[in-house]
Amino acid sequence: MSAGGGTGTSVKCVILQPSYIPWRGYFHQIHKANVFMFFDDVQYDQRGWRNRNRVKTAKGVQWLTVPVLKRGLRAEQTPIRDVRMCWDRPWAHSHWTTLLHAYGRAPYFKKYAPLVESFYRRRDEFLADFTIDTTVALARELGIQHTRFLRSTELKVSGTKTDRLLALLSEVGADHYISGPSARDYIDEEKVRAAGVTLEYMSYEYPAYEQLHPPYDPYVSLLDLLFMKGPEAPRYIWGDE
């Protein structure tokens, strides 16, 4: 299985766990990749970004959290792909209402409201199906058309840490891996280089923009930037590339 475009063409790959309405750094990595892989067969982390993110409101930063079923959720055993969403409470209505109240006066809220509201009409059984599809939809809305998306589950690759990473990259024909800076702590860089793969670490340095509810916070969901800057949002992520 190869994602390569042809002889001499470098295939740049990013592998990230699926997240709920991610921040702009996540979409920057999508933009830089030829192949973006949602790492959905690794252990679900209950205090991470898989099912929650932050938005700006008049009362300050607020978490939006997608409830998941605790039944069957076993610590250190449940892969992300098997986590089920909880529908015994009206969280989708609550999230949309929060966004409406927080961003209703934002310059581009009306432009993107139909797309975002459609997210909350979904009734997915599995969290990953919901977060992956909505992330892809937002990426396309940002104008990212060149990136191929897939899920690590599709490749059925085993192994741990760097060995597994290299096996996944090999499956998609990637020779360049783009990673978040925190991965420096666990990637075996010598092993990666020996496999003929070049390694790039992200640097998350983005220009500030006006937010409806000061003080400025750069670490909120992409929706904040999208509602405030609209079609100009990409300039505040990857610039004028």
Write out pLDDT tens, residues 54-100: 999 999 999 999 999 987 666 568 999 999 999 999 999 999 999 99
pLDDT attached to residue 4? 44
DSSP string, 57-73: ETTEEEEEE--B--TT-
Could you tell me the pTM of the whole model?
0.94
pLDDT attached to residue 75? 56
Write the DSSP symbol of residue 117: H
Residue type at 30? I
If one counts every other C-beta atom within 10 angstroms of the C-beta of residue 143, the result is 11
pLDDT attached to residue 74? 66
* CA within 13 Å, CB half, 19: 21
Q: What are phi and psi of 56, to 5 degrees?
A: -95, 135
Residue ranges in the chain whose pLDDT is less than 50: 1-7
> What is the C-alpha separation between 67 and 8, in angstroms, rounded?
46
